[in-house]
Amino acid sequence: MIPLGDENPTRSKPVVTIALLIICCLTYLWQLSLGQEGQRAIYALGVIPASLLEGRALPVSLQWVSPEMTVITSMFLHGGFLHLAGNMLYLWIFGDNIEDILGKVAFVLFYLACGIIAVFTQAIPEPDSTIPMIGASGAISGILGAYVVFFPKHKVRVAIPFGFFIQILRLPAYVVLLFWFIFQFISSIGAGTGGGVAFRAHIGGFIAGLVLGPVVAVLTKRLRKTTESN
């Protein structure tokens, strides 16, 4: 089930969503420009659980930023074109509406918070792992969780392959995204941090979005009322 777009117009231009898209794409182009050194960037700027959680020292050549800072830098790195394209597709389709409802500053904080929670959800079960964790998937999973809360019945156009044919359907967002979540949950069973897809990060980010989305929306609304009254 591949999302193609949603039927949910926004009130303002999704400046932050577009900026995140551009930053991730430019970062990927930078990774490609490094050639064989691109792998070093992944180890230097990706999250290494053993370094972040156990304080294991990395070689000096990989100490570009602090282990704590990699929680942020890792969100903008990707392991390949399909990794990037998949994440950017979901960000473009669902991110604009969450930015619209939360506001631009709150959306940035929400995005980063979901990404951070996703990182620790993936890393804590295997704190001695030396496999780098990269990608915007955790933060974007948070966007999906918030979308289910705010726009459960809005239609999403999806492509569903049936053998050699592709069927285009319009389904409620909650059907599409809960199907996505169930797939992540099933896939996470027995999955570790030994490379591949960080399914636990997706689950952690999604749940973070479910919880933080409404909380951030309420706090933002109260802050706006307080500012207007003053």
Got the DSSP string for 78-106? Answer: -SSHHHHHHHHHHHHHHHHHHHHHH-HHH
- What CATH number does residue 205 fall under? 1.20.1540.10
Q: Which residues lie across from 2 on neighbouring strands?
A: 159
- Which domain range does residue 161 map to? 2-229
Q: What is the pTM of this model?
A: 0.91
pLDDT at 45: 96
pLDDT at 195: 59
pLDDT at 193: 47
pLDDT at 229: 67
Q: What is the DSSP string of 140-203?
A: HHHHHHHHHHH-TTSEEEEEEEETTEEEEEEEEHHHHHHHHHHHHHHHHTT--SSSS--HHHHH
pLDDT at 61: 82
Could you give the number of structural domains in the chain? 1
User: Which residues in the chain land under pLDDT 50?
Assistant: 193
